[in-house]
Amino acid sequence: MIITKEELKSFLKAKNGHPHTLLGMHPMKKGRSPGLVVRAFVRETAQCAVIDLASGEAFPMQLLAPEGFFEAAIPHRTEVFRYQLRATLHNGEMRQFFDPYSFLPTLGELDLHLFNEGNDHRVYDKLGAHVRVINDVIGVSFAVWAPNAARVSVVGNFNHWDGRYHTMRPLGASGVWEVFIPGLSEGELYKFEIYDKQGHLRLKTDPYATYFEAPPNNASIVYDVSKHKWNDGAWLDARRESASRLDHPMSIYEVHLGSWRLKIEDANQRFTYRELAPMLADYVIEMGFTHVELMPVAEHPFTGSWGYQVTGYFAPSFRYGTPEDFAFFVDHLHQRGIGVLLDWVPGHFPRDAFALAEFDGSHLYEHADPRQGAHMDWGTLIFNYGRNEVRCFLVGNALSWFDRYHIDGLRVDAVASMLYLDYSRKEGEWIPNKYGGRENLEAIDFLRQTNDLVHHYFPGGLMIAEESTSFAGVSKPTKDGGLGFDLKWNMGWMNDTLRFFQKEPIHRKWHMNDLTFGMLYQYSENFITVFSHDEVTHGKASMLFKMGAWHIPEKAANLRSLYAHMWMWPGKKLLFMGSEFGQAREWNYAASLDWHLRQYIDHEGVRLLVRDLNKLYRDEPVLSQNDFNPQGFRWIACHDTDSSVISFLRLDKDEKTIFAVVGHFTPVVRKEYRIGVPRRGFWKEIINTNSEYYGGSGLGNDGGRVAELTPYDGHEQSLNLALPPFSTTVFKWSADQG
């Protein structure tokens, strides 16, 4: 026996953190006769031999421990050669295979240097589990970052989840552990067994895993994410050519895949990615939306988190199929002309023991101090953005969704919670930055880096911030001192507008500033006007039931007037599923939308209006091209609080196409109401939310009005209008017809 008793004992107790120094083939140590020593740990094996693949010669191995530890001395051979192990099982069965400890590391010094520096932008191709061919041998390479571990092993069905087998080697001071296991293939379940320096054993899923099994086991699954054959080249070319342009129409349909539709006839089972793709594409095209935004599809164990407590950042959820199925979903929507945005959650992660929390026995991904590392509101942990390897993980994650799945953009969740160290904290519960301020400087740098790299590698890819404060420059380029996002959700507009429409009509005249205040900051950012999932859950009521009216027809009329106001207001658009047909109850993640409500005009009328508003927005360049141009908006009048009426213009640069928008938010019929307009001629009524077609009474302006030479609102001519109750009316003037 060449191995020492102490070394053997340490190995059998699974405490040896440097397996490649013992296992595999090695030259004899100095002081011994020339030769080679080969050691192997093989389960349930009676005999084992080393087979020289060049000559076929067999070298029997000595069993040193009944657990399956074998050793062989090969005298007079000094050059390491290519070999396999031949194991004879106790039942007489024989198998021959390559030794995992006969392969060199799959990561090089440059890979490790870039990772530790935080600058490996394709880290997802290196860490994790990857099917590879090394020296003509097919297998799976595993790599994981666990710098404070004493020993790391890959465990799975292939080794009976025994951490003594397939112990990984540490790669210098990088903190990365690695092993190549020949003979494994796609579909293997695995985890990392980590023996930390405090003597605790931890069973962890792979932070870079691309596929997971269902809870409660949550094992990672080896999966080849590159096998889908893409057919969206034309879409990607067009996206690339439109890079840096935000003047195109963008109307987003926000979707939770698990509750958009369910298989009613099959006990409310979920549809798969492949089943959802054509159904969702058909509906989105019918409705005129340009993009879908998916609530998080990254893997999460608790469905009730809606996907916002992520444990598998690189893996599309198993709930709807495989990663290839998700690729099909995106590909299909692209071929149908629909963009795909994903919600991304780099602001926090859950405390589940099998995932990132205290990954290697230390606070590896999170801050150790709860004043920096714990979210009080959500019971989750905060990433340590100042740690290079954590930043590399998150940046690589963002890039991987664009690279692997061709997505068109990320909507970054809860940005405000990342920007401020005192977010939702009382005095004494947070630590100031190095300058004594409340800004999280490391998070700001991380966001800037991520946005710049997405734009560099994927021109035309969009980065969207859900940011609820007045932090300056969220959608300004980083070169100009901004955060580098393309777009920002307009949370202020959303809150103000809903507050107004929730008022009973008799009180609205005292709150008209809720509708007008937003214009003071409208052009400070590239805004998306949004009514998202957050507004229709947790007791907030559905969009329909928010409306300040007593019965459904009036609520529907209010909702129609709100949506027309929203679509004509500057900014891109986003609406959460179900809100487009005025779902009555709050959104329930575990149930399908109430599609049956479409049989009633109060609901179907809302849907038809949203469809027509999308068509108007897409067909009229003056609207989308001037979403971020302050010259494209002009108030007509916003002072008639007693009547609860506001009016404004949307116009192009040359004022050859002009829209006049009139919102009237009381139940009173005003048959003669005058507004000034900047042009003579005919103003065509193109949207009347009170149309019978949408479920209204039909009162309107008979298709349009001719401007009268009566000065009003500072203009030389004016329109004498009939204003239906609870309505928004849109008129169009163009030079061609003027």
Residue 413 a catalytic site member: yes
Q: Using an 8 Å Cβ cutoff, are 308 and 296 in contact?
A: yes
196 three-state secondary structure: strand
- Residue identified by tokens 């958009």 is 260
| Angstrom distances, CA of residue 80 to CA of 35, 52, 54, 274 | 10, 10, 12, 50
Residue 466 a catalytic site member: yes
Q: Using an 8 Å Cβ cutoff, are 129 and 206 in contact?
A: yes
278 three-state secondary structure: helix
Pairing verdict, β 572-576 and 527-531: parallel
CA angle 733, 673, 689 (to 5 degrees): 65
390, burial (CB in 10 Å: exposed 0-12, middle 13-18, buried 19+): buried
413, 486, 652, 685: which one is catalytic?
413
Q: Using an 8 Å Cβ cutoff, are 419 and 469 in contact?
A: yes
73, burial (CB in 10 Å: exposed 0-12, middle 13-18, buried 19+): middle
141 phi/psi in degrees, rounded to 5: -95, 135
Describe the crossing of helices 323-335 and 273-287 by its angle, rounded to 10 degrees: 20
Mention every residue, 6+ apart, whose C-beta is less than 8 A from residue 596: none
Alpha-carbon distance of 83 to 98, in angstroms, equals 7
Q: Which two tokens stand for residue 134?
A: 């090394």
Mapped to the 3 state alphabet, what secondary structure does 143-187 carry? EEECCCEEEEEEEEHHHCCCCCCCECEECCCCCEEEEEEECCCCC
CA angle 199, 103, 48 (to 5 degrees): 80
Reply yes or no: is the peptide bond before residue 19 cis, omega within 30 of 0. Answer: no
- Residue identified by tokens 């890039």 is 399
Q: Count CB-CB contacts under 10 A for residue 46.
A: 12
727 three-state secondary structure: strand
Mention every residue, 6+ apart, whose C-beta is less than 8 A from residue 166: 100, 153, 154, 155, 159, 179, 181
**C-alpha atoms less than 13 angstroms from C-alpha of 51 in its C-beta half-sphere:** 13
Q: Which two tokens stand for residue 64?
A: 């040193």
Q: Using an 8 Å Cβ cutoff, are 726 and 558 in contact?
A: yes
DSSP 8-state code for residue 547: S
Alpha-carbon distance of 114 to 575, in angstroms, equals 41
466, 467, 535, 620: which one is catalytic?
466
Q: Which residues are catalytic?
A: 413, 466
